[in-house]
Amino acid sequence: MPHHLVIFGRQGAGKGTQSARLVDALGVVHVSTGDMLRAAIASGTEFGLRAKSIMDAGRLVDDETMCAIVNDRLAEPDVVDAGVLLDGFPRTPAQADRLVVMLGDRAIDRAINLEVSIEQVTARMLERARDDDTPEAIAKRLELYETQTRPLLEWFDSKDLLVTVDGLGTEDEVFNRVCSALGNITEVGSPNHDE
Ligand code: AMP
């Protein structure tokens, strides 16, 4: 059965790194809305230009646009066959509502919350200094995470789907925690799996 997972975490919590490791381990498709938007920017489309100014300001692209992009991606055969790790979506209550509809029969197995404090992620992002990481944009993104995205964790928790993992430590340490939190989902290849 393909898995359908969601990963949450503040900007700078290490979602990208842990997502790449999980995708390798589970064979699911990594669907990162931030990566999709950055690809649109790189391709120089009019939509990309619009997205860039929104992203640079630390604001969110509108729900309608994001839901349309994700809906199309979730319908593609690779995702239908292999399942998905959603990274960066849903980010607002409206996106979460729409996601449930988009997935239809495909139930979400788990939502992973990679927990790193506001102080820690702020320090990490200022160190990394991407050109969209101005102090104002960082502050805006963190504020939107608290007001828009964090409430979604409670929704996943109320459905018993949320696992919270301490995101501080080495890449390996955090990945081991993610795997233990996911339990049997990550036991692919374990001695009992093929029996
Ligand atoms: P990320 O790489 O997930 O941190 O996303 C980078 C930026 O892309 C965000 O700060 C938003 O401006 C935009 N973005 C990514 N995903 C979404 C989403 N689901 N809804 C709205 N905006 C998004």
In a domain, 50, yes or no: no
Centroid of ligand 1 to alpha carbon of 144 (angstroms): 11
Judge contact between 65 and 121, C-beta under 8 A. no
Give the CATH number for residue 148: 3.40.50.300
Centroid of ligand 1 to alpha carbon of 23 (angstroms): 20
CA distance 4 to 187: 15
pLDDT on residue 188? 52
> Mean pLDDT, to the nearest integer, of 164-171?
97
Whole-model pTM: value is 0.93
> Mean pLDDT, to the nearest integer, of 155-177?
96
pLDDT on residue 66? 98
> Mean pLDDT, to the nearest integer, of 119-130?
86
pLDDT on residue 194? 40
**CA end-to-end span of the chain, whole Å?**
16
In a domain, 166, yes or no: yes
Centroid of ligand 1 to alpha carbon of 107 (angstroms): 23
Nearest CA-CA partner of 74 in 99, 39, 93: 99
Measured by CA distance, the residue closest to atom 8 of ligand 1 is 34
Helix/strand/coil for 166: strand
What is the extent of the structural domain holding 121? 3-31+84-188
In a domain, 9, yes or no: yes
In a domain, 92, yes or no: yes
In ligand 1, which atom is closest to the CA atom of 37?
A: 8
> Mean pLDDT, to the nearest integer, of 91-95?
96
CA distance 4 to 96: 14
Instruction: Name the DSSP letter for residue 173.
Output: H
pLDDT on residue 191? 42
Over 90: is that where the pLDDT of 134 sits?
Answer: no
In ligand 1, which atom is closest to the CA atom of 89?
A: 19
